[in-house]
A and B are shown apart, each in its own frame.
Chain A
């Protein structure tokens, strides 16, 4: 490594460190959104490591799929659930800690064994050698996906399609009556008791907060529709000062 590429070492320590920090932050942060952001940070740094290891396709797909789609959907759900909803800290699954510890240990053993075997038994041929077989990283992945791992690839896609179909079935609602068209909605609005269009906006002569100042009709009387209901209920509506209106009209050269 001394005469090797020192740029690669810098990338490894910076990105690797950030990835570990993101992983720790994901577990330790209290807000779900912060956890999601930490995962995104980890994913991006893993992608950088992939690119540094001559696997640009994997790196880019990692960012597009995991950071761009999966984590974004997580964020989406978190936002729908609500900003201030607090997480329940009561464990509903009995004995989940024990199961989690056992599974974590199993995963750790698998990882250590796998990486250990990779470090001792396998003789590395070098990244250029591996990528050079098919004339490039992208071509190599494409060949493996569509020859040696074709069945696994297709089974995975079948699994994903099944999941998508399941989600659609769960979210599906049979429409009983045909959907009201825009024309029907508009007719109903005009026939109904409410105001057919937008309510008139509040006063244009406001000196303070315009929302509490009624708009004036052409004859000079205030329009009740222009004031939000809650303000009327609170008694926060500003009375029209006709002297003020005249003053402003004379300033602006409005209707005499």
Chain B
């Protein structure tokens, strides 16, 4: 919170900053290549196949070769494309994907060529908000790609993705709030140090679950991959992209996967802190070891991404949006209220844990009683509605009800009228039959 906490950042010599930038860039590209191979192998294994195993040991170089192939392919730009926007869309996507990694911590302070420096490019008081901001810029790439392709399926994919990412960003942002409350900060390095005794995934489990759900929606991955639903939209927003531009979208998607996994690790799984049995070893959280813990945690998240893709069918669009707005967002709001109330009670009124539990039990009991009465009221109102509905449905159709020409209600049959006389005519089926 004080200046001294950020004192370790922003004082690196220029060559070290360049080195960190370069290492992060190379690491993200390598992680992308690895993740594509890993995904194909794991999905294959889950589907009783073998997967890529020809290029290099275990097929490890397969995604590299695929990348070369993509880059050397002919580039096709549709005639109807809006060229400027069409060009810039993949650039925005890929750039935003790389930018978000600037504030992800990989480890504690280490010595690089004799300079003491944290394993993190930079950090500032609102770095988690920075990641959210960059993510919201990244959506532009997808939406603009859909718009500028001058084609229907990409447009629909772009529309879906803008709606989807805005909706899930709300739930995602709200899942951060409880973390901010407990860490007392929005900077990634301070959030990690606030998790020293116990991870936030344990004490803030609902936030963690909400974040993990919304991060799948945010990265357009199965089962929430509606913007590129192959069965419905061909390829969604990138249908009209080929060659290197398509490769950039591909790269952006996989880097985004790594980014949200790294963010989940940072916010909920203690970042580079060693997991429990290892944390008993004294030097587990010093030197270069934490980089390994970090990598393992991120890879676990990526494995979950792949697992989900191999297991779950794609959601229907309306169910997906309903889930986001009517389940995730209200659940996060209620959870934040509980967390905030508990913290105020503990810090300002100084209640003990036991008193807190008793208060919680009383609140839950009151809510149960209220909901029981509320259910009764809802049932009664529904019964009245049904009565009214039945009454109206059984009424014969009156084309001039209330003095205005009105269409028939569902279930009512409009009588055919002769155009000349306005009198009812015998229906055609009656004659045919």
Whether A associates with B in a native complex is: yes
- On A, residues with C-beta under 8 Å from B are 31, 33-34, 37, 40, 44, 47, 56-57, 60-61, 63-64, 67-69, 72-73, 75-76, 78-80, 83, 135-139, 176-177
A68 x B143 contact (CB < 8 A): no
A83 x B1 contact (CB < 8 A): no
B136 within 8 A of partner (CB): yes
B140 within 8 A of partner (CB): yes
B333 within 8 A of partner (CB): no
Residue of A nearest to B411 (CB): A177
A33 x B85 contact (CB < 8 A): yes
B125 x A63 contact (CB < 8 A): no
Q: With A and B bound together, what is the CA distance between A34 and B85 in angstroms?
A: 8
B130 within 8 A of partner (CB): yes
Q: With A and B bound together, what is the CA distance between A77 and B133 in angstroms?
A: 21
B136 x A64 contact (CB < 8 A): yes
Q: Which of A31, A40, A56 has a CB less than 8 Å from the CB of B125? A: A56
Q: How far is the CB of A196 from chain B (nearest CB, A)?
A: 17
Contacts A60-B126, A67-B137, A72-B136 given; indicate if A139 touches B409 (C-beta within 8 A): no
A83 x B162 contact (CB < 8 A): no
A176 x B409 contact (CB < 8 A): yes
B163 within 8 A of partner (CB): yes
Cβ proximity bits B100-116 to A, threshold 8 Å, 1 near / 0 not: 00000000000000000
Interface contacts beyond A33-B147, A136-B2: sample of 11 additional A-B pairs, CB < 8 Å, sorted by A: A60-B129, A63-B133, A63-B137, A68-B139, A79-B147, A79-B155, A135-B2, A136-B1, A139-B1, A176-B389, A177-B411
A75 x B410 contact (CB < 8 A): no
Interface size on B, residues (CB 8 A): 34
Contacts A40-B140, A76-B162 given; indicate if A176 touches B146 (C-beta within 8 A): no
A135 x B1 contact (CB < 8 A): yes
Q: How far is the CB of B143 from chain A (nearest CB, A)?
A: 6
List residues of chain A with CB within 8 A of the CB of B125. Answer: 56-57, 136-138
Residue of B nearest to A34 (CB): B85
B426 within 8 A of partner (CB): no
List residues of chain B with CB within 8 A of the CB of A79. Answer: 143, 146-147, 155, 158-159, 162
Q: Which of A31, A67, A139 has a CB less than 8 Å from the CB of B136? A: A67
- With most chain A CB atoms within 10 A of its CB, the pick from B124, B129, B150, B155 is B129
B19 within 8 A of partner (CB): no
14 pairs, CB–CB < 8 Å, chain A vs chain B: A37-B85, A56-B124, A67-B136, A67-B140, A68-B133, A68-B169, A72-B166, A75-B143, A75-B147, A76-B163, A78-B147, A79-B159, A135-B1, A136-B125
A44 x B137 contact (CB < 8 A): yes
Q: With A and B bound together, what is the CA distance between A75 and B155 in angstroms?
A: 12
B166 x A73 contact (CB < 8 A): yes
Q: With A and B bound together, what is the CA distance between A67 and B140 in angstroms?
A: 9
List residues of chain A with CB within 8 A of the CB of B147. Answer: 33, 75, 78-79, 83
Q: With A and B bound together, what is the CA distance between A136 and B126 in angstroms?
A: 11
Contacts A57-B125, A72-B162 given; indicate if A138 touches B137 (C-beta within 8 A): no
List residues of chain A with CB within 8 A of the CB of B389. Answer: 176
Q: With A and B bound together, what is the CA distance between A40 and B140 in angstroms?
A: 10
Q: With A and B bound together, what is the CA distance between A56 and B124 in angstroms?
A: 8
Q: With A and B bound together, what is the CA distance between A64 and B165 in angstroms?
A: 12
List residues of chain A with CB within 8 A of the CB of B2. Answer: 135-136
Q: How far is the CB of A198 from chain B (nearest CB, A)?
A: 9
Q: How far is the CB of A174 from chain B (nearest CB, A)?
A: 10
List residues of chain A with CB within 8 A of the CB of B133. Answer: 47, 60, 63-64, 67-68
Chain B, 123-170, CB within 8 A of any chain A CB: 124-126, 129-130, 132-133, 135-137, 139-140, 143-144, 146-147, 150, 155, 158-159, 162-163, 166, 169
List residues of chain B with CB within 8 A of the CB of A83. Answer: 147, 150, 155
- With most chain B CB atoms within 10 A of its CB, the pick from A78, A138, A139 is A138
B191 within 8 A of partner (CB): no
List residues of chain A with CB within 8 A of the CB of B163. Answer: 76
List residues of chain A with CB within 8 A of the CB of B192. Answer: none
Q: Which of A33, A68, A76 has a CB less than 8 Å from the CB of B137? A: A68
B264 within 8 A of partner (CB): no
